[in-house]
Amino acid sequence: MTDWAGDAKNASTDGEFVRDARYISDRIVASVPAGSGPQPMPGTDGRVGELLWPAEPGRYRLMAARACPWAHRAVIVRRLMGLEDAFSLSLAAPTHDVRSWNYAGVYPDGLDPVLKIPRLQDAYFARIPDYPRGITVPAMAEIVSGKVVTNDFDQMTIDFIREWGPYQRAGAPDLYPDELVDEIESVNELIYPKINNGVYKCGFAGSQEAYDKAYRELWEALDVITDRLSDRRYLVSDHLTLADIRLFTTLVRFDPVYHGHFKCNRSKITEIPVLWGYLRDLFQTPGFGDTVDFVQIKQHYYIVHTDINPTKIVPLGPDLSGLLTPHGREALGGTPFGDGTAPGPVRPDEQPTAGHNPLYPA
């Protein structure tokens, strides 16, 4: 069985959802000369998952999907860092089958226009024939070979920030500064297992006991985060960091999907003043809300998860226009980009579909 992102999912004996976190963990880095081939990571034999590839503009394509929160992180970081000219963006259709994400209805003839493939699995199989794990987004594919280089969603975003410096825009913010890394990762030790993945533990629980445990952990963590954000504008420091991006992609999906579909229903985000203000603040910040497609998000979860929603009926609500209302969090101090600047407008060919986001009315 695969979950919505194509990650293999298993249930423990007590019905707890367990995410398969084994990835192709090659990295794209600045220390390998442009134009060269991949090199073994120090101390390895250079097998798949142990290679370093050069950060070279025009060489790679980011394979993503609007629906996926893990891919959404990569899309946000690419935009904030101004890497649109460094590597192109491929967006899959919002739904998939057991074989993988596909491009039906997205591009002419249902083919990715650069890699010329109908399904993401083709890029995985080009690298590893009969790839046995989940066909996941995000992934970075090498254009010439058509092969997936890495699908390690977390390390990928860190490397976008740290390894692509010469190709970033002027004014790109430092989302992962050395002096804040320990605190960012400390916060992530709460956010990833209990919030980002915690909503899935609720939604895919195979027993009442597993659901109850996941639900309690989710809300205990959200309470801690609410308290943390009650007197500070951002999770770490006085400007945006990767910690805020990691949390945003879950919070922005919470009321449209996780609250009802995954039974995470103690409260809606709109009913929690601190989190609702924080979410509006981020949504209205260039690079965040302008990357969201709520229709595709809902289509994905409600259509793909037939074990949870066998009718495949996609809800019309909730009303999301409130995301554009004043949030007042400027009073807490800080500035979104620190010493950096905001990114420019979204490229026309990368904008969410009109009518799928309050920033892009029909």
Please identify which of the residues 23, 60, 68, 234 carries the catalytic annotation: 68
- 3-class secondary-structure state, position 274: helix
Order of strands, edge to edge, in the sheet holding 51-54?
A: 27-29, 51-54, 39-40
Q: Is 111:118 a contact under the CB 8 Å cutoff?
A: yes
- In whole angstroms, what is the distance from residue 164 CA to residue 354 CA? 31
- Name the nearest CA neighbour of 216 among 271, 250, 264, 276: 264
264 catalytically annotated: no
If you write DSSP's letter for every residue of 280-315 in order, what string do you get?
Answer: HHHHTSTTSGGG--HHHHHHHHHHH-TTT-TT-PPP
68 catalytically annotated: yes
Residues 214, 216, 222, 227: is their CA dihedral positive or negative?
negative
Q: Is 221:195 a contact under the CB 8 Å cutoff?
A: yes
Using N-to-C axis directions, what is the helix angle for 273-283 and 242-253, rounded to 10°? 110
HSE, side-chain direction, 13 A CA sphere, residue 189:
5
Please identify which of the residues 200, 258, 301, 302 carries the catalytic annotation: 200
* Phi, psi dihedrals of residue 207, rounded to the nearest 5°: -155, 160
- In whole angstroms, what is the distance from residue 320 CA to residue 200 CA? 22
Active site residues: 68, 200
